[in-house]
Amino acid sequence: MPCEDIAPVLGPALANKDWLRPEHRVGDPKSYMRHVLYVDPEGDFVITAITWLPGQVSPVHGHHVWCAYGIAEGELTEEQFRESCGELNPQKSRVYRAGEIAERDLECKTIHRVSNRSRGTIVSLHVYGVSADRLTTGINRIFAAQIAPAYRGRPAFTKSSEA
């Protein structure tokens, strides 16, 4: 499946959630939880459901591989950053609701942080251009840069704002 073709497939999967089972809604209090749904036999991509409990936040990261995701249940917040002089500067934030597809990162340039700021459990559907044996080690590149001082200690954005 070429990564450019993912949106026409991801959208209907978010609309018709027959694939979403009770075990896909199970989270881990320590961190978001990834459930493998499908592994491409050719090793080109993996589809996962990620469960986010209230308050869970990913580290600020980019991807080594192309990625596309959408929201199956709940509202997930994505903050995007740009790295400059060893600091991460907020660029924009968006709240994605059930059925919506996030901006696709087909060129592996996006730096972002994803979080559940709601009181409920969220399930997001992710497609990564990676083989299953690299799913836990070959996707994310974590950024050690600090968030610019003006944004430390407070949310970088309010709901659906842009910097």
User: Please, which residues have CB within 8 angstroms of residue 46's CB and are 6 or more apart in sequence?
Assistant: 36, 38, 39, 40, 127, 128, 130, 131, 132, 135
Q: How many degrees, rounded to 5, is the angle at CA 61 between CA 64 and CA 107? A: 40
Q: Which domains does the chain have, with CATH numbers?
A: 3-151 (2.60.120.10)
Which residue matches tokens 């994803």? 114
Query: Rounded distance, CA 159 to CA 71, Å?
Result: 16
Smallest CA-to-CA distance from 79 within 100, 62, 59, 94 is with 94
pLDDT digits (tens, 9 = 90+) for 113-150: 999 999 999 999 999 988 888 777 767 888 876 776 65
pLDDT digits (tens, 9 = 90+) for 25-58: 999 999 999 999 999 999 999 999 999 999 999 9
